[in-house]
Each structure stands twice: as C-alpha cells, then as structure tokens.
Structure 1
C-alpha cells in the first residue's frame, strides 16, 4: 500500500499496525458473512455442475429423442425398434419421484429421491451409469439399482432390500442388484422401466436413447410425430434439475435473509469503529493533513479491510466446500460460480466502503479544534 500510495498508504498502514485489534474487529464479521454465503452459493453450483457433467458423460447413445410436449409415447419406441432393427439399441427412460423409507442413526426416516426406469438390455450402447458393484443386467421386477450416495444413505448394498413408495402410493421392497456412481446426473434410484412407468401419471418416457442405427431413419421417425426432437446427449438436462432449481431458489431466499442480518452486524461494527475516530481525524488535520488526505486514507483502509475479508472468508469456506465436493463428486475441486464470486466481492466492497466512508465524512464535518476536545 505504501508503494501504491506513499502518503495515504503510509497513513493507512500506520493506523492499521497501531490498531490491529480495531482492524480485526472490523474484519471478523465480514469474514463470517463471506464464508457463510460462499458455502451456501458454491455448494449449489458444485452440485449443479457435477450433475450436468454426469448427465453428458453418461449418455453414450448416438441419438436422443425427447418430447417438447411432456414426453415420448411407447408407440414411438416401438416404431424406432421396428425401423432400426437389430443393428440398434433403443432404450426408453422414464423419470419420476419416489419416497424411500430407511433408518437414520437408528430412527426411521423417509425422503424423496429422483428415480428413473429403464430396460437394461443393450444398455452399454446407450447409457453408462458407472456401475461400482453388481450388474445392471440383473435389473428386473423386484430389483433396484442405487447410486453410491443413496446406497450409503440407506445403508443398503447389493443383495439387501429397500422400501420404496412409488408415485401413486404403491409400496415395494426390491432387492439391490447394482450400485452406480452417476446418481447426480440420472437419479439416485433406478427401477425396471415398465414397473416405474405404470405408476406415473402419464406413462410417457422422458427420453428415448438410440445406440447405433441410421441417423436419417431416427430423424424420419421423429419428424412423423409432432413435438418430438432428435438430438444428442449434450441436449439433456440432469435428472432432478427442476427439483434442484427449486431448492436453489429457496436456499437463495434464506441466503439473502442471512446476508441482510450479517450486513446489519457488519455495518454497525464498521460505523462504530469509524465514528470513534473523530479525535484521531482532528489530530491528523491539526498536524497538517487536509480533509481529502484523511478521506483518501480511509478509502485505503476500506480497501484493505475488504480485500482481507474476501480472501480470509474464502479460505474459511474452502474446507467445507472441498469436503462437500469430494463427498458428492469424488473430486476435491468445488465448482465456484464466477457470477457468485463477483457478487460476493461487489457486495462486500459496497458494504465496506459505504459503512466506512459515510461516518468518516460525518466526523470530518466538525472543526478540528472542536473535535480534538471531544471524549473518546
């Protein structure tokens, strides 16, 4: 700071060195606010980014048929199979929400999870769920496959049973036949296609994956059915994305409320710390510093406080974000949203500069000879 601003930087650094406790008192609430908001924002962005990557990486099909009007009917799947023949694998995928009942720390618990239903025949040509245990080829009525996260949550591995409530309230207790890694992209629960579809409201498939086959034939069949679109795996959204978006919106409201509370604490601390320096400002002016010099010194101090608060706050948030990322994605690198990071920096700077600048200007309105006689 002294190199950048020999006069104002010198005054600011001398003040901060001499009053390190005051600096710490000003920085601490901002660090808390930055850390809390960072964990909330970047945990959501890490989850969404991982789900999107899994959805794209897991689809190995050459063609993907989706419906713009809510889904794809079973007749389209049958027609694709008839037209493409044995040279192609056609895998319809239906999505739903299920409720799983399980024990958590010895107490009964239940929660809703994104589920998909699919036919395991020829699945290696259309979908790669990254199987860790068991075999998806064993998926049939009375069985289920779980994501790695769901398997750990339910305490159910291959060969054990889980209690699942389907969309229409039907309760089943299937046996786990496989555990896979890409649960964020495709849902935590995978059931046989026909079993899940018959318990949904419409019975329509979300996607139809086609491995192999002629692209023109797929396009021709799709064109014969208004509302259908033929594309690639990159066009798909991750399973449960709508639910996660809703959760993100509700979390954002909670974050804003928490941020408002923390902002009040931060502003109070900074305003009080600045207002108490009226005699200090008067002494500087009596020693020869102009009003603009004192204001420039305070801007330098505010910049230091904001910079230190952002850096330390992000460092405090890093361990929980790394742990969360590793637990969900098996990667220690969290996904930090550039927009979220920029928002945190701008909000911190706005609060810091205003909460320091306004009371400093108010304190400088007094004549130095009058202000020097005031009590601390």
Structure 2
C-alpha cells in the first residue's frame, strides 16, 4: 500500500502541493523556534574570573516551595533581576569548614554592595579533600542565606548573569511561542489533510468496493501523509534554519542577547521538527480516514456520493468541552494579572477557535437557515442555490469556516495587544509626570543627590527614583514585575500616581490597582514580596494607585531598597537649575518619555515578530484550505452547468456562499477577538475598552474579505473555463 500511495500522489498535483505548503511552512516555523530553545539549552558560559576556584557561592536565583491544592509539594525557581548579596561573615564560616583551604570574597565589596555584604565567594579546596563532602557542607551553609554553590562550568553563570538571562529568554520565548505554534500547526495540518481525504471520497470508496480492507486504506493514506511530511521537512528545514539565524542576528542587534552569545544552528531542532510534522500528518490522515475506510464494500460508492448530513456525537461533546474550557480560561484571565492574565487570554483564544473547529458543521447548518432569506433577497436564485449548498455541505465547509475564524480571531486580537500596552504606558508616564526636568549621570548619582538638588534656587521639589523590580508569588509560580523606589516625602510633588486609596507612607508600599486586584490585596494588608536581589520584605500596603503601567506595579520607599537613585526628578518654578552633581546631566522629562517609547518599541518588536509569524501562517493556511475546497468542487460545478445553470449563476452562487461564510466567520472571529482583547486589556491595564486603530480593523476585515473572495472565486473561475462534460467525469 505504501508503493500505491507513492504512485497515487503523482496524479494529484494540486492537493499534493497544498498539503506540502502547509507541512513545509509548519516545519520551517517549528525549526526556527526550536533552534532558539536549543541555543538556550546548549550554551553554558565558561568561567573566566573564577576558573581556578573549586566552588563559587553566590545568590543568583530564588526558589519557592509550597503545597498544591491536592497536597503535593511544588518547587519553582526564578532568576533574580539583580545579583543577590550575602553577609560578609559567611566568608569566615566557609573558611572554617573541613577541606576548605581558602574562601575569598571576590570581587571585594564595592560601592554598589552594601557595607557588610558580599556578592561572590570563591572557595579553594585542600589537596586530597573529599570534594563531595566539601560541596555538601558548603551548600548547607549557603542555603541558610538562600545562596547556592556552583562548580565546573556552572560557575560561568555567576560571572555572566547577562548570558544566563539570555539563556532564559531564548528558552522561555522559544518554548512558549513554539507551544502555541504547534497547536496552530495541528489545526492547519489536520484541516488540510482532512479536506484532502474528504475530496477523494469516490476514489477511496472505489478501492473499498473492489476489496481493499479498512486497514489497507488507512495504511495507504498514512503512507501518503508520511511521504509528504518527509518532503515537506526537506523543504522546510533549510528555510527554518536560515530564519533562525536571521532571528539570532536580530536578537543580538536589538540588545536582547549579548553579542558574544553563541546562537545554535538547530542540530537537534531540525530533526525534532521533521519528526513532529510527520507524526502530525500521519495521525491526521488516520483520523480523517476512519469513516470512509470503515464503510462496508457494498455501501462504499453509494455513501461517498453525498456528503454525510450528520456529525458525530463525540465531535459535539469535545466541541462543547472546548467551549467550557474557554469560559474557564476567561475567568482565569480576568482574575489574574500580568503574564498570568495574558496566558489565560491566549489559552481562551485557542480554545474558542478549537470549539469553532469542532462545532463548525452545526454552525454552518444553522447559519445556512438564518442566512437563507438574506442571500435569496440579494442574489436571487443563485442565493437559493448557495443556501442549499451550504446546508448540504456543512461538514465540507467546516474547514473553510475554521480557517477564516482563525485568521480573523488572531489578526483582531493578539496583534493589537502590544499596541494597547505601549499606548497606555506612554500615556500614563506623560500624564503622571509633574516634574519638568530629570537629573541623570552615567557614573551614578550619590545617595543624597535629591537632598542637595532640593536646595538649589528655583527647585520646588526633588525626588530620587530608583527603577527596579520585585518578585511576587502568583499561584504556584513567581513573577518578576517592574517597580520604582522613590523618596516618598516628595514623590507626589513630582509624580501623579492617581492614588485611589490611602497615601504614600515611609516604610510602606503602594500597589497598582491591577496588581492588588490580581493578588486579592486590600489597603492595610501585608504584601509578601522579594526585592530584585532576593531580599524578602513584608510591607504594609498604604496606598493603591491606577497608573501601574507607567510607574510599575509597586512603589517602594527608597530607604527600603537601600540603593542610590538612577535619576532625580525636578519640579521647578520655571528657571533651569544650574548647580548639579559632578558628571550629572539635566534633561527635559519629555526625553525620558521618548526613551520609554523607544524601549517599549524594542521590547514590542519581539512580540510582534512572533505574533506576525502566527498570523501569517494562519492566513496561509486559510488561503491553502479555501483553494483546495474550491478546486475539489469541479464535478459539482460541472453537473450544475450540465443541468442548465449558467456560468454567471454559478459565479453568483459562489459569491453568495463566500459572503455567507465570510459573514459568519467575521461575526464569530470578531467576537472572539473582541472578547480576548478586552479581557487582556482590562486585566493588564485596567481599561474598560481596548484601543484598536481604524486602519487595524480595516486591515483585518479587508484582509479576510480579500482572502475569502480571491482564494475561492479565482479557482472557480478557472474551473468554469474548462468544458463541463470533461469536468463531470474527472476524478475528485
């Protein structure tokens, strides 16, 4: 049957090409994202400064443990945004351990390290010491300070935290995006192969009627899918590797990854992507062939003559389950905040599209009845034929509806998420900054810079600001969120946080409305957080404010953080201050806003690139599917023409069908996009309505319309140029 499968492929160039495009594009995307993950997993920075040390003790991450709902213990580890410190007394304690020859604070305490604290301790073992015992003893002492002992190449993580952060970024981005891409590819591959097999019902029924067993048919179709998957891999892997190399260069050029970070070439990602796409193709072929291969030989040709009018109860059950799962994800997105809300919303998006894919036959059938009066009123008899065809071919049009909903749903939701975040952030910074100037210095500002500047003539208020991060537990995970440490006594004179409850109090913490809602915190509660260096803090919530995107989710007292300011905001009476700290620069705050917008645009680039790839793949899949569906109707079109339906009436019928399908897809896909976008914007920004530029909606709706019409009308026009009698006897 495998040999027969190979011979049959040569006689179906159109279907083969469409399936190859879907498979090759899937391999290309998976290879590119897989190469990112592989680059992160394979790279281990080699130690340079501490190469001679046997062990290095440092605090570079923080580990949380807790109990799950079922009682099981969970552990999650998060990398610290800033290097942690340890008490200097730990050096002497480590030096006194058996087997330790020397323990040195390296580098020595610097101006950035608080007095009595050290960042790194290098340990040299005695000759002949039991390395396992020494490491166990060192780890025990280090664990008491939430630090760890690193040996071998792992010491490089201590020296180069930037490389470690780049590794984490590549793994997280590649894995998260790759997971969503795999789900998208499952939709596309299953739909494309399923539509291909559905279009061959008569051919397969003939094989069944002439004695082919069900398993022989399935083996043949699975063999075809495996062959196409292999060819698609040969085409997709080289383009995927080129794409991953280009993306690596872009990540380095835009500052996401250090210039000396070695990007992998996808040695493992390429075969993994090929294997996965072949498995997906084979499984899709097996599932799509179950019904036609299970029909009795005597009934095969009669059953294949018409489209099945009823869909299975199993499909209906899974469709309803996906719909329930989407509603659950929406509740999680509304209740969560930050990345949790975003993850919940994206899950809701996929589940809604999956629900539409499974329920599409019932949707098409109901839509045909509802649209019948409208289509007949606009297109007359051609509209009547269109509604009858939509109702009779509800299952056949399911893949087309899914492809259109996928394009509209993705294009109308995920693409605009980043636009909303950027716009809200810049607006909040502009509206919330009352100062006219900011004092910055490349060498760093002294701790008392704000106090000195407040005494300069013309300065009404001076606020030292330290931009930082805090770590907060979110359910069974930990999230690093932006924060600012301010001189709270003067903060409200230079910034307007739009405080809703309470007031800024020294020693306390102010929390954004979105964060307080997601953590279920109220005014007066104690917030358990960790500073950027891993120091635990239990701070009383003294204020809740609304401008969290512009100023971070937490406003801390700078005394709590204990670090010098990055900048000092100045509110003046109009005159420009001249007495500044040494090497400091005075800049208008408008430049800070411009820089914020640039930084956001750089960070948004990666998200938009990944989202753009998903939308492009969805659009490609939609075009592919609709062209296949249109070309599969050659016999149907020919029979209509032979029974007296004119070419013009056929064209009008197809136009009416596509208008009806497009209308249903736009309503469903637009609703999915609106729900997803509104949910995320409300959870992340607190806004009631999302911002969508007019050109954005025009592009989404116009693109979907153009896609639906051109990919169906042009193939049908091609079929109408050929003799009807020859088309009526052609194979499907």
Coarse TM-score class (shorter-chain normalised)? 0.7 to 0.9
1:235 to 576, 593, 598: 593
Output the CA distance in 1 between the equivalents of 2:404 and 2:456: 64
Q: In the alignment, what sits opposite 1:4?
A: none
SS of match in other structure, 2:509: strand
Instruction: Give the Cα–Cα distance (whole angstroms) in 1 for the partners of residues 625 and 539 of structure 2.
Output: 58
Q: CA RMSD in A?
A: 3.9
Q: How does 1:311-350 map to 2 (within 5 A)?
A: 311-338=667-694, 340-345=696-701, 347-349=703-705
1 CA distance for matches of 2:479 and 2:589?
33
- The answer to whether residue 416 in structure 2 is matched with residue 42 in structure 1 is yes
Q: Does 2:575 correspond to 1:216?
A: yes
Q: Which runs of 5+ in 2 are unaligned?
A: 1-377
Contact preservation (8 Å) 1:117, 1:197: no
Give the structure 2 partner of residue 5 of structure 1: none
Q: Give the deviation of 1:139 after TM superposition.
A: 2.4
Looking at structure 1, the residues matched to 661 and 623 of structure 2 have their Cα atoms a distance apart, in angstroms, of 13
Judge conservation of contact 1:60–1:233 (CA < 8 Å) in 2: no
Preserved contact between residue 523 and residue 544 of structure 2 (Cα < 8 Å): yes
Structure 1 residue runs of 5 or longer lacking an equivalent are 1-7
Answering whether residue 635 of structure 2 is matched by residue 279 of structure 1, we say: yes
Question: In structure 1, what is the equivalent of residue 536 of structure 2?
Answer: 171
Choose from 127, 131, 136 the match for 2:495.
127
Post-superposition offset of 1:231: 3.7
User: In the alignment, which residue of structure 2 is the partner of 1:17?
Assistant: 387
Distance in 2 (CA, whole Å) between partners of 1:236 and 1:70 is: 22
- Does 2:545 correspond to 1:180? yes
Check conservation: 2:513, 2:548, Cα contact below 8 A. yes
Looking at structure 2, the residues matched to 126 and 325 of structure 1 have their Cα atoms a distance apart, in angstroms, of 28
What secondary structure is seen at the aligned counterpart in 1 of 2:488?
Answer: coil
In structure 2, the residue matched to 1:370 is 726
Determine whether 1:147 maps to 2:512.
yes
Q: Are the equivalent residues in 1 in contact too, given 2:465–2:565 (CA < 8 A)?
A: no
Q: How far did residue 191 of structure 1 move?
A: 0.9
Q: CA deviation at 1:229?
A: 1.5
The 3 A distance-change label for structure 1 pair 110 and 293 is: same
C-alpha change, 1:226 and 1:151, in structure 2 (3 Å) is closer
From 438, 448, 452, give the equivalent of 1:65.
438
Q: TM-score, normalised by structure 2?
A: 0.42
Whether contact under 8 Å (2:418, 2:608) holds in the other structure is no
Q: Which has the larger radius of gyration?
A: 2
Q: Is the 8 A contact 1:135 1:177 kept in 2?
A: yes
Answer whether contact 1:139 1:177 (CA < 8 A) is retained. Answer: no
- Kindly tell me: are residues 347 and 227 of structure 1, through their superposed partners in 2, closer, same or farther at Cα, counting changes over 3 Å? farther
What is the alpha-carbon distance in structure 1 between the residues aligned to residue 696 and residue 387 of structure 2? Answer: 32
Per the alignment, do residues 163 and 244 of structure 1 end up closer, same or farther by CA in structure 2, a change over 3 Å counting?
Answer: farther
CA distance in 2 between partners of 1:282 and 1:42 (Å):
44
Q: Is the 8 A contact 1:97 1:115 kept in 2?
A: yes
CA distances 1:332-355 after superposition (whole Å, capped 9, x unpaired): 211114454344345434543443
Quick one: distance in 2 between partners of 1:335 and 1:159?
34
Matched-pair contact (CA < 8 Å) for 1:146–1:189: yes
The answer (yes or no) to whether the contact 2:514–2:685 under 8 Å persists in 1 is no
In structure 1, the residue matched to 2:463 is: 91
Q: What per-residue deviation string (whole Å, max 9, x for no partner) do you get for residues 238-261 of structure 1?
A: 69x847953x44543553454355
Which of these residues, 31, 42, 45, is aligned with residue 405 of structure 2?
A: 31
Distance 1:48 1:237, change over 3 A: same
CA distance in 2, matches of 1:176, 1:311: 44
* Contact 2:499–2:544 (Cα < 8 Å) also in 1: yes
SS in 2 for 1:83: coil
1:306–1:349 Cα contact (<8 Å) kept: yes
Return the alpha-carbon distance in structure 1 between the equivalents of residues 463 and 541 of structure 2. 21
Provide closer, same or farther for how the CA distance between residues 369 and 46 of structure 1 changes in structure 2, counting only shifts above 3 A: same
Post-superposition Cα deviations, 1:142-183, rounded to whole Å, max 9, x if no partner, equal x22211222233343333333333233333322222222211
Cross-structure match for 2:86:
none
Cα distance in structure 2, aligned partners of 1:341 and 1:68? 44
Q: How far does the alpha carbon of each residue in 1:68-108 deviate from its partner, in whole angstroms, 9 at most, with x for none?
A: 959766676455322236x60111222112212x362xx4x
Secondary structure of 1:177's aligned partner = strand
In structure 2, the residue corresponding to 1:331 is in which secondary structure?
Answer: coil
In 2, Cα distance between equivalents of 1:53 and 1:216: 26
The number of residue pairs the alignment matches comes to 351
1:70 & 1:34 partners in 2: Cα distance? 50
Looking at structure 2, the residues matched to 226 and 304 of structure 1 have their Cα atoms a distance apart, in angstroms, of 65
Equivalent in the alignment of 1:55: 429
How far is the alpha carbon of 1:113 from its aligned partner?
A: 0.6
The CA deviation at 1:268 is 4.7
Normalized per residue, the structure richer in helix is 2
Query: 2:442 touches 2:584 (CA, 8 Å); kept in 1?
Result: no
Q: CA separation in 1, counterparts of 2:444 and 2:706?
A: 47
- Change beyond 3 A, Cα 1:117–1:39: same
